[in-house]
Amino acid sequence: MGTPLTTQLLKRFVPLDSLKRQNLDALCRKTRISELEQGRILLKQGDDEQRIIYLVSGNLLLTDKDGDTIVIESGSEEARKPIAEAIPRRYAVATATNVEFISLDADLLDVMLTWDQTGTYEVNDLGTIEEKVETQDWMTVLLQTRAFQKIPASNIQAIFMRMQQIDYAAGDTIIKQGDEGDFFYVITAGSCAVTRETPLNKDGIRLAELEVGDTFGEEALISENKRNATVSMLTAGSVMRLSKGDFHSLLKEPTLEKVNYQQAKETIANGGKWLDVRLPSEFESAHEADALNVPLYFIRLKLNTLSPDTRYVVCCDTGRRSSAAAFILTEKGYNACVLENGLKSIEQE
């Protein structure tokens, strides 16, 4: 026991092996290897907790509802994939030996995969800050926040495209208490102080310090109230800002037609086509019959291989990547709908 956690270890697993270096490094910093003794329960059958398990060392015993068992050995081809991934779990998972494993937040990984497959365009278009993205990776930090995970995936690209970079000197005020809310901000370089003026302290009480990847300003935009604090630069630095109008419009789900699994099957029976936008390694594990596999990051390059006369049911694991793909297809004039909540929502027989 005692296997060290490295990015090379994470790259043993599917689809972690597809992540860009920045996101893989960030995931490595947020992840740890856990241990469990032989004969213990790792996952219960029917469990619906949104986490992904990878086996690092040892053997696991998977038992289905009929009592049939499967042994998964670390280092095997099966161990490259998430263990008992379907939600709710179809198998009870117990340790056949002492094991080491990794547990990841499923939503975080899905956001990272979506960003990885749409982010190339944003970084290229934000050429003036490309070096800072490389060295400080503010986008990755931002994408790991719970608030940002709630933004529709199909809007991620537009948000980064519409942001403006503003540079500040140490001591400069970015927003002032009492002003109208006009922008949402992300710190990309340097650090800031958050202070609030009170009747007894006109100089302001320091409430917090913000670092690269931290956001501020959204409260006034959402509540339509005035700024409730002042944010000033502690050091020289930069922020990216998004206007109030863009903030409100891009936080909303775009108009996409969603279908449940039964409606999707009827569409396919009437001449439609499954379009699976997961990675090839995910697609090979399991997919709908006769589905096309065009990974999200290839969707713009492969548009000319799709038929404008075909209705496509776009799918992925959760609906996040497929929403992004369907938004692109719809903008380009293709007939596309989204499998609501993704393939993981389909009841396992």
Cis status of the peptide bond prior to 88, with omega within 30 of 0: yes
CA-nearest of 325, 275, 154, 134 to 212 is: 134
pLDDT (0 to 100) of residue 118: 61
Question: Measured between alpha carbons, how far is 345 from 106 in angstroms, rounded to an integer?
Answer: 14
Question: Measured between alpha carbons, how far is 74 from 9 in angstroms, rounded to an integer?
Answer: 12
Between 34 and 155, whose confidence is greater? Answer: 34
Cis status of the peptide bond prior to 254, with omega within 30 of 0: no
Q: Is residue 238 within 8 Å of residue 190, measured between CB atoms?
A: yes
Q: Which H/E stretch holds residue 286? A: none
pLDDT (0 to 100) of residue 132: 40
pLDDT (0 to 100) of residue 19: 85
Q: Is residue 114 within 8 Å of residue 56, measured between CB atoms?
A: no
Instruction: Scan for tokens 């006369």, then name that residue.
Output: 309
pLDDT (0 to 100) of residue 128: 37
229-258 burial, b at 16+ Cβ within 10 Å, e below that, comes to bbbbbeeebbbbbbbbebbeebbeebebeb
pLDDT (0 to 100) of residue 69: 95
What is residue 287's DSSP assignment?
-
349 CB neighbour count, 10 Å cutoff = 4
What mean pLDDT do residues 331-336 have? Answer: 86
CA angle 210, 215, 216 (to 5 degrees): 90
Confidence of residue 18 (pLDDT cuts 50, 70, 90): confident
pLDDT (0 to 100) of residue 222: 59
pLDDT (0 to 100) of residue 146: 55
pLDDT (0 to 100) of residue 330: 82
Question: Measured between alpha carbons, how far is 22 from 110 in angstroms, rounded to an integer?
Answer: 15
pLDDT (0 to 100) of residue 122: 37
pLDDT (0 to 100) of residue 250: 75
What are 26-75's pLDDT values in tens digits?
A: 788 888 999 999 999 999 999 888 899 999 999 999 999 999 999 999 99
CA angle 13, 16, 19 (to 5 degrees): 150
141 CB neighbour count, 10 Å cutoff = 20
Task: Report whether pLDDT(274) > 50.
Answer: yes
pLDDT (0 to 100) of residue 113: 81
Task: Report whether pLDDT(120) > 50.
Answer: no
CA-nearest of 91, 9, 99, 92 to 59 is: 99
Q: Specify the CATH superfamily of domain 7-103.
A: Jelly Rolls (2.60.120.10)
pLDDT (0 to 100) of residue 321: 86
Q: Is residue 60 within 8 Å of residue 99, measured between CB atoms?
A: yes
CA-nearest of 251, 307, 228, 243 to 275 is: 307
Task: Report whether pLDDT(311) > 90.
Answer: yes
Q: One of 192, 315, 316, 337 is an active-site residue; which one?
A: 316
Q: Is 192 a catalytic residue?
A: no
CA-nearest of 344, 264, 338 to 86 is: 344
Question: Measured between alpha carbons, how far is 326 from 319 in angstroms, rounded to an integer?
Answer: 10
User: Domain extents for the chain?
Assistant: 7-103, 126-250, 258-345
Q: CATH topology for 126-250?
A: Jelly Rolls (2.60.120)
Task: Report whether pLDDT(228) > 80.
Answer: no
pLDDT (0 to 100) of residue 213: 80
pLDDT (0 to 100) of residue 347: 53
Among 16-25, 114-123, 207-216, 262-271, the range of highest mean pLDDT: 262-271
Question: Measured between alpha carbons, how far is 4 from 6 in angstroms, rounded to an integer?
Answer: 6
Task: Report whether pLDDT(298) > 70.
Answer: yes
Per CATH, domain 258-345 is 3.40.250.10: yes
What are 126-148's pLDDT values in tens digits?
A: 333 344 444 346 776 676 665 56
Question: In the predicted model, what is the mean pLDDT of the chain?
Answer: 83
pLDDT (0 to 100) of residue 348: 45
258-345 and 7-103 share a CATH fold: no
CA angle 343, 348, 349 (to 5 degrees): 140
Task: Report whether pLDDT(116) > 80.
Answer: no
Confidence of residue 107 (pLDDT cuts 50, 70, 90): confident
pLDDT (0 to 100) of residue 349: 39
- Cα 73 to the center of its chain, rounded Å: 29
DSSP assignment string, 226-278: BP-SEEEESSSEEEEEEEHHHHHHHTSPP---EE-HHHHHHHHHTT-EEEE-S
